[in-house]
Structure 1
Amino acid sequence: MDSRWVGPDGYEIVPAYRRDRQVLRVRRNGRVVADCSSVEEVARYVDLADLCEVIPLPTRDAAARSAVK
């Protein structure tokens, strides 16, 4: 569950668990706004078309970063 979506005005949506149930946690500027049980509930806070998924890029080890050995 490393997925994360960001939108305008500081909104961020991350998967979370609340009382052993998976929810979509809506945050704005780092503060929890709501725990939503459906995408329709998330749409009450942010336009879904404005969300972008954050995809972490693989990291390379320190030796691979150096151009000179």
Structure 2
Amino acid sequence: MAEEFGSPLPRDWRDAADTAAHNLGFGRDLTGLPAEHWQRVLAAVEARMRMKGVDLPENWRERLTRQVGRENP
């Protein structure tokens, strides 16, 4: 289980977060976003992945958070 938690998500998850932040008017600095903005980005990523029919992997929020260089979800 520890391996799964630490394994990176595919690149399209990072791209979805980057696009969501930009579309929400937050810019593209994912590491510098306030926590409340990051939560909105995560919600947008979740919606986008569900629309694409992607199954959301366990701990995806934490994994994506770490992948983009943020300390906390």
With the length of structure 1 as denominator, give the TM-score of the two structures. Answer: 0.25
More helix by share: 2
More strand by share: 1
Bigger CA radius of gyration: 1
With the length of structure 2 as denominator, give the TM-score of the two structures. Answer: 0.24
